[in-house]
Structure 1
């Protein structure tokens, strides 16, 4: 996205190199990892969706997500992590 934008989110700090590798693998090429300036002037890293045509004009609603999608999302993440761990044991990554 071009220009200044604002989104709500959480800043997670203190991740290990291993945790960053897992996040990078999970987010894959659909996201760019970008350094952003936060509203308080600090910098933070964010995975930014690369397909602007699919970006919704509406803010993400955590309550709606929890009610409608969280259960299926957790299942998909669990399956992804099992596959990721298996590929790491097999030396494929």
Structure 2
């Protein structure tokens, strides 16, 4: 199964910091969803929104260890769900179940300009812990 990503995992430096490589990607979109800005967070949440379409990419070649790292990277409030993409293909993604969703969509250009370097540094600092935890539980993921 592939993973649909729509926020911080769109950025090569984030993937490199977390996984140590850039997975293969395909452009994708998720109808009926939007990439929402959230109060107090620099990253977005995917929320249901009839009549809209969330842009993103599919990560197509993740190994079990990488799935486990990403599962630990996604904070509390996200849940892994299967969705249908505009191509008709099915994919897993992390949807936001929490509150504090803003009315506007998340802006990846604003994130890149103002938050990416600090976010990548944070990812690099937590990656060893995420990797160690993933190694202990990698059998639990797709």
| TM-score bin, normalised by smaller chain | 0.7 to 0.9
Match in the other structure for 1:9: 56
The reply on whether 1:81 has 2:122 as its aligned counterpart is no
Match in the other structure for 2:114: 68
Q: Deviations over 1:5-32 (max 9, x none)?
A: 5311111112111110111111143210
TM-score, scaled relative to structure 2: 0.54
Match in the other structure for 1:32: 79
- RCO higher in 1 or 2 (8 Å CA, sep ≥ 6)? 2
Match in the other structure for 2:103: 57
Larger Rg: 1
The alpha carbon displacement at 1:84 in A equals: 2.7
Write 1 or 2 for the structure with the bigger share of helix: 1
Write 1 or 2 for the structure with the bigger share of strand: 2
What do you get for the CA RMSD once the two structures are aligned?
2.5
The reply on whether 1:46 has 2:93 as its aligned counterpart is yes
Distance (whole Å) between structure 1 residues aligned to residue 49 and residue 107 of structure 2:
23
TM-score, scaled relative to structure 1: 0.79
Structure 2 regions of 5+ residues with no counterpart?
1-46
Go from structure 1 to structure 2 and tell me whether the alpha carbon gap of 1:16 and 1:85 turns closer, same or farther (over 3 Å shift): closer
Distance (whole Å) between structure 2 residues aligned to residue 15 and residue 87 of structure 1:
17
Provide the aligned length of Structure 1 versus Structure 2.
91
Structure 1 regions of 5+ residues with no counterpart?
none
Q: Which runs of 4+ in 1 moved over 3 A?
A: 1-5, 85-89
Match in the other structure for 1:20: 67
